[in-house]
Amino acid sequence: MTFENLHVVVTGASRHFGRALAIGFAHLGAEVYVSARTVEAAERTRTEVVGAARERIHAFGCDLSRPADIRDFARQVGERTDRVDLLVNNGARWLDGMEFEAATDDQIVETIESTAGGSVLMVKHFLPLLRASQRPDIINMVAVSAAYGPGNAAAPAHEAFYAAKSAQAGFADILSRRLGPSGVRVFSLYPPDFSTSDPKSVEWEGMGGANPSQQDEKLTTQALFECIVYAVEQPRDCFIRSFHFEPR
């Protein structure tokens, strides 16, 4: 299997892991449709890519806490392509682990809406384009905080972020069961805190991130990217529902 001519949608692609995904897929030959809260932020990802891969990245503005933005994003992508082969729900509104009462109501609502509601609506509005693909896949980037038990202080996020990610994990689980029979695979990643190395304008290198001299460091962006590539490359009768990583 090759990624050439695959059509990939990545949310939250203005920095860190989302930008690394966009760059990685573009260098593998995919047409990549990236979103960020503003089109200017998404456009920066495109302009920082080197070589021919730059022309394979298409930038859009989409605030995942606004349903109208998601509908417009899906419509605009549909005007450029007749299908989407891979949807990556990466975008989420981070909320620091401040005192519970210190977060404003707007911050709490935006965190839940962008992460949980955003994932649900992205699937809803992109599902017609996914169903038009011969190999449709959905990837959900679920933070490890969703896997922590109640009261576990290891997650540095606010309680609202924990709630949003738990909702996203539940949605991904039921979605995989219901869409699986129709040929749409749903994968979820549960990484711990990981190194968000940013390739920016340099060539994508070392997709596995398996540098022997870095064995004591955090899980790398490249390693997570390779997990996604591995899952998508599998034959259609191979269904890897989730990747769980133990924090070091």
Confirm whether 2 is domain-assigned: no
Report the C-alpha gap between 185 and 237 in whole angstroms.
10
Per-residue pLDDT reduced to its tens digit, 94-113: 888 878 999 999 999 999 99
> Is 118 inside a domain boundary?
yes
Considering the domain boundaries, does residue 1 fall inside one?
no
Range of the domain at 45: 7-244
Domain assignment present for 188: yes
In a domain, 35, yes or no: yes
Q: Which residues contact 125 (CB under 8 A, 6 or more apart)?
A: 70, 71, 73, 74
**Residue 192 placed within a domain:** yes
What are the pLDDT digits (tens) for 139-174?
999 975 544 444 455 557 899 998 999 999 999 999
Residue 33 lies in a domain: yes
Q: Per-residue pLDDT tens for 39-83? A: 999 999 888 877 888 899 999 999 999 999 999 999 999 999 999
Residue 137: exposure state from Cβ atoms within 10 A (0-12, 13-18, ≥19)? buried
Residue 202 lies in a domain: yes
pTM, two decimal places: 0.87
CATH number, domain with residue 43: 3.40.50.720
